[in-house]
Structure 1
Amino acid sequence: MTSWQQAAAKDTALMNDFQAICGFGGRLSGSGQDEAAMAWALERLREVGPDVRRVAVPYDGWRCLSSSLTLLGDTPLSLDCVPLLRSASTDAAGLEGVVLDLGAGRQEDFDRAGDAVRGKIVLVRHEYPFSQGHLHRRRKYDMAVARGAAAFLIANTLPGAGPLSGSSGRPRDGAGIPAAYIDHEGAQALAAQPGARVRLQIQGEELRDSMACAGILDLPGGRDSRIVISAHMDGHHLGNSALDNATGVAVALAAARILAGSVGPDTPGLRVCFFTAEEWALAGSARYLADMPAAERRDLKLNINLDTVAGDDTLCALISQYPALAGVVDRTAERAGVPVSHWLPFMPNSDHANFAKHGIPALRLVAGFEKPESRVRHILSRGDVPDIILESEMRNALAVTCAMASLALSMSDHELDALKSGSTCPGI
């Protein structure tokens, strides 16, 4: 057992913290659960160091007032649906239309349908999010909007798992169409009736002047530079958002406890960031970084983002088109005694993406990459509950996080700046 595995094994609070975070509920931004969980986390951070602050960041708030989906016919059938966050609203009576099944809902599916998309209620399928060929729901939604669809339905492909939850990415007062997740069984019912007619009703409300927050712990070293460990606190109203992302927050808290003694006069500082409004198209971290003074942002040398770090016994680092990070990951895996793969292409599926776009080498540590059969498949669903998380996986993620951050803390600023070498990350 490596020293980092031993350190991870000795942290007695890791799983208690995980359970405490899940105990706040799904932690949807704007629900109050996110704020309560953040207040708890700030108190936990104050046990590690005194420089703890809460930073308020505006975001485009929204809430669903009512929703329904009905398959019309001689015997109307009510289907389970969950509106996408920031969905456009229908009229109060709802929107009636013909369903056009586009299968996976990829570019070729939209191209094949051509003008037939216009005015239809488009049906596509959700894809397991942690795979090389994954196409995000928002890209499918955007294609439906661009092709003139009247509404957008996206189906969970797992039988018996219910609908999922996620964001449409529609900006405040922006153009968009009504959009909702449905379950596997609902999609089957629609697919069995080509030309099926449905009534979709969604009433949403813009919440202007909405504020999210970030919780920040700064452990200053002897240099202005900072290594950042981040995780998002917010989640969805389905389940307890255990995978996504109580796992990451609990591991980040434990890493802060373990690493605090490694920060000293010859090292960079360590910053721990907990974001909210991540599930709202990464809005919280985007605004936090955009509002930061440029000089402070330049001092951020590496972002280690923890998001869904358990749910399978494999770990992968998504290294955001920063090829030099591959060596960091390989050295980390050796030090931690835990295998970690890496994936170079930019995947904008968590807060690391906003760091990377600002020219900060960034990665996301995630479990279950290319493992759609893993327990990570329950992400965004009612099945995202504490019981699917194994302690051994949490402790492996903690050992990896500590080994990686310790390696970064031992590097000179010149070595840290060299991590930008060869990057082709969008936005730089």
Structure 2
Amino acid sequence: MTSWQQAAADDAALMNDFQTICRFGGRLSGTGQDEAAMEWALTRLREVGPDVRRVAVPYDGWRCLSGSLTLLGDTPVNLECVPLLRSASTDALGLEGTVLDLGAGRQEDFERAGDAVRGKIVLVRHEYPFSKGHVHRRRKYDMAVAHGAAAFLIANPLPGAGPLSGSSGRPRDGAGIPAAYIDHEGALALCAQPRARVRLLIQGEELRDSMACAGILDLPGGRDSRIVISAHMDGHDLGSSALDNATGVAVALAAARILAGQLGPGTPGLRICFFTAEEWALAGSARYLADMAATERHALKLNINLDTVAGDDTLCALISDYPALAGVVESAATRAGVPVSHWLPFMPNSDHANFARHGIPALRLVAGFDKPQSCVRHILSRGDVPDIILEGEMRNALAVTCAMASLALGMTDQELDALKSGSTCPRI
């Protein structure tokens, strides 16, 4: 057993912290569950170091007041649906229209349908989010809007798993259409009827300038530069948001405890960042970084973002089009004694994306990459509960996180700045 594996095995609080976070519920931003969980996490961070602060972060919130989907016909059938966060509303009587099934809902599917999309209620399929060819829900929604669809339905492809939850990404005052997740069985019912007609009712309330928060622990070293370990606290309200992202928060807390003793006169400092409003198109970390003074942002040399780090026995680092990070991942995996693959293309699917866009080398550690049959398939669903998480997966993620951070803490600022070389990541 390597030293990092031993350190991970010796952290007695890891799984208790994980279970505690899950007990706060799904932690959807705006429900109060995320706030309560953050207060608990700040208390835990104060046990590691005194410089703990709570940063208010404004975002455009939204509340679902009602949502329903009815398959029309001689005998109307109510189908289960979950409106996407920040969905546009229908009128009070709902929106009636014809369903157009576009299969996966990729660019070629929209192009093939052409003008037939206009005025239709488009049906597409959700894809396993951690795969090389994945097309994100928000891209499909944006294509539906651009092609003139009247509404957007996205189906969970897994039988018996219910609908999913997620954000439309619709910005304040942005063009948008009513949008909802449905389950696999609902999609089958719609596809069984040629030119099926439905009534979609979504009533939502805009909550402009809502306040989320970021919880920050700063552990000083001997230099102004910082290595950042981040994770998001918020989730969705269908399950317990165990995968996404109680796993990441619990591992980040444990990493802070383990790494605090490694800081000294020759090292950069370590910053732990817990974000909320991540599930709202990464709004929390985006605003946190945008509002930061340029000098402080320049001091952030590397972001290790922990999001869904268990649910399978394989780990992958999404290195955000920063090719020099591949060497860091490989060296850390060797030090941790835990295999870790890496994927170079920029994937804007968690808070690391906002760091990367600001020119900060950033990676997301994730479990189950390219393994759609893993337990990670339960993400965003009612099945995202603590029972699907294995302790060994959590401890491997902790060992890898500590090995990566320790490696970075041992680098000079010049070596850390060199991690930016070769990147073509889109910048803000």
Identify the TM-score tier after normalising by the shorter chain. Answer: over 0.9
What SS does the aligned partner of 2:176 have? coil
What SS does the aligned partner of 2:64 have? strand
* 1:239 corresponding residue in structure 2: 239
What are the within-5 Å matches in structure 2 for residues 239-258 of structure 1? 239-258=239-258
Q: Which amino acid aligns with 1:313?
A: D
- Cα offset for 1:209? 2.5
Residues in 2 aligned to 1:425 and 1:208: alpha-carbon distance in whole angstroms: 31
* 2:26 corresponding residue in structure 1: 26
* 1:154 corresponding residue in structure 2: 154
- Cα offset for 1:172? 1.8
Q: Which amino acid aligns with 1:190?
A: L
The answer to whether 1:259 aligns with 2:254 is no
* 1:289 corresponding residue in structure 2: 289
The answer to whether 1:306 aligns with 2:289 is no
* 1:165 corresponding residue in structure 2: 165
Residues in 1 aligned to 2:347 and 2:33: alpha-carbon distance in whole angstroms: 28
The answer to whether 1:426 aligns with 2:426 is yes
What SS does the aligned partner of 1:255 have? helix
Residues in 2 aligned to 1:307 and 1:249: alpha-carbon distance in whole angstroms: 8
What are the within-5 Å matches in structure 2 for residues 223-234 of structure 1? 223-234=223-234
- Cα offset for 1:189? 0.5
* 1:62 corresponding residue in structure 2: 62
- After superposition, the CA RMSD in angstroms is 0.5
Residues in 2 aligned to 1:171 and 1:345: alpha-carbon distance in whole angstroms: 25
Residues in 2 aligned to 1:368 and 1:414: alpha-carbon distance in whole angstroms: 33
**Unaligned stretches of 5+ in structure 2?**
none
What SS does the aligned partner of 2:142 have? helix
Q: Which amino acid aligns with 1:92?
A: A
What SS does the aligned partner of 1:177 have? coil
Residues in 1 aligned to 2:175 and 2:138: alpha-carbon distance in whole angstroms: 14
Residues in 1 aligned to 2:424 and 2:174: alpha-carbon distance in whole angstroms: 30
Residues in 1 aligned to 2:230 and 2:209: alpha-carbon distance in whole angstroms: 25
Residues in 2 aligned to 1:112 and 1:324: alpha-carbon distance in whole angstroms: 39
Residues in 1 aligned to 2:278 and 2:263: alpha-carbon distance in whole angstroms: 28
What SS does the aligned partner of 1:347 have? coil
- Cα offset for 1:21? 0.2
Residues in 2 aligned to 1:173 and 1:386: alpha-carbon distance in whole angstroms: 37
Residues in 1 aligned to 2:163 and 2:263: alpha-carbon distance in whole angstroms: 45
Q: Which amino acid aligns with 2:185?
A: E
What SS does the aligned partner of 2:209 have? coil
Give a deviation string over 1:174-198, Cα, whole Å, max 9, x none: 2100000000000000011120000
Give a deviation string over 1:83-109, Cα, whole Å, max 9, x none: 000000000110000000000000110
* 1:195 corresponding residue in structure 2: 195
* 1:5 corresponding residue in structure 2: 5
Residues in 2 aligned to 1:115 and 1:412: alpha-carbon distance in whole angstroms: 56
* 1:352 corresponding residue in structure 2: 352
Q: Which amino acid aligns with 1:180?
A: A
Give a deviation string over 1:387-422, Cα, whole Å, max 9, x none: 000000000000000000000000000000000010
Identity of aligned residues (%): 89
Residues in 1 aligned to 2:50 and 2:41: alpha-carbon distance in whole angstroms: 14
Residues in 2 aligned to 1:371 and 1:209: alpha-carbon distance in whole angstroms: 38
- Cα offset for 1:264? 0.8
What SS does the aligned partner of 2:273 have? strand
What SS does the aligned partner of 1:416 have? helix
Give a deviation string over 1:341-375, Cα, whole Å, max 9, x none: 00000000000000000000000000000000000
Q: Which amino acid aligns with 1:41?
A: A
* 2:130 corresponding residue in structure 1: 130
What SS does the aligned partner of 1:297 have? helix
* 1:106 corresponding residue in structure 2: 106
What SS does the aligned partner of 1:60 have? strand
Pairs aligned (count):
428
* 2:37 corresponding residue in structure 1: 37
Residues in 2 aligned to 1:221 and 1:4: alpha-carbon distance in whole angstroms: 21
What SS does the aligned partner of 1:424 have? coil
- Cα offset for 1:173? 2.5
- Cα offset for 1:212? 0.4
Residues in 2 aligned to 1:390 and 1:322: alpha-carbon distance in whole angstroms: 31
Runs of 4 or more, structure 1, over 6 Å off, are: none
The answer to whether 1:364 aligns with 2:364 is yes
* 2:95 corresponding residue in structure 1: 95
Structure 2 length normalisation: TM-score? 1.00
Structure 1 length normalisation: TM-score? 1.00
Residues in 1 aligned to 2:62 and 2:107: alpha-carbon distance in whole angstroms: 29
The answer to whether 1:116 aligns with 2:116 is yes
* 1:395 corresponding residue in structure 2: 395
